């Protein structure tokens, strides 16, 4: 699953295991700020943060969009809105998800 504008050879699979590990730690039903919680977990864990920075490289906008899409698909949730004031400093906004 590679975005057409993303650098060649970079795939969500490079950070997928980290995202799955984070999502397994969050209780189901997932809250509508699940995407923000995933980015907070990336931000607050030095190992995860290093992997995120390696994955995102210089293009955090595309990387963050791919991570957000992964979270949506993994959880099976649907888009219910947008939040412009996330707690995570890795993102400027996120899509709120619901059931």
pTM of the model: 0.87
**Local confidence band at 10 (pLDDT 50, 70, 90 cut-offs):** low
Percent with pLDDT over 70 in the chain = 89
Tokens, residue 31? 């809250």
Domain boundaries defined on the chain: 13-98
Bridge partners of residue 1, in order along the sequence: none
What's residue 58's pLDDT? 84
d(CA 50, CA 8): 20
Q: With residue 25 as reference, give the H or E element that holds it.
A: none
Q: With residue 85 as reference, give the H or E element that holds it.
A: none
d(CA 2, CA 22): 21
Task: Say how many C-beta atoms besides its own lie within 10 A of residue 75's C-beta.
Answer: 18
HSE-up of 76 (CA within 13 Å, CB side)? Answer: 3
């Amino acid at each position: 699953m590679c975005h057409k504008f993303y650098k060649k050879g970079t795939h969500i699979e490079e950070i997928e295991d980290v995202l799955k590990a984070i999502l397994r730690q969050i209780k189901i039903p997932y809250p509508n700020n699940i995407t923000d919680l995933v980015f907070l977990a990336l931000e607050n864990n030095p190992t995860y943060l290093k992997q995120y920075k390696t994955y995102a490289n210089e293009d955090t906008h595309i990387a963050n969009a791919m991570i957000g899409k992964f979270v949506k698909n993994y959880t099976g949730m649907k888009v219910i809105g947008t939040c412009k004031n996330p707690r995570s400093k890795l993102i400027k906004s996120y899509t709120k998800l619901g059931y």
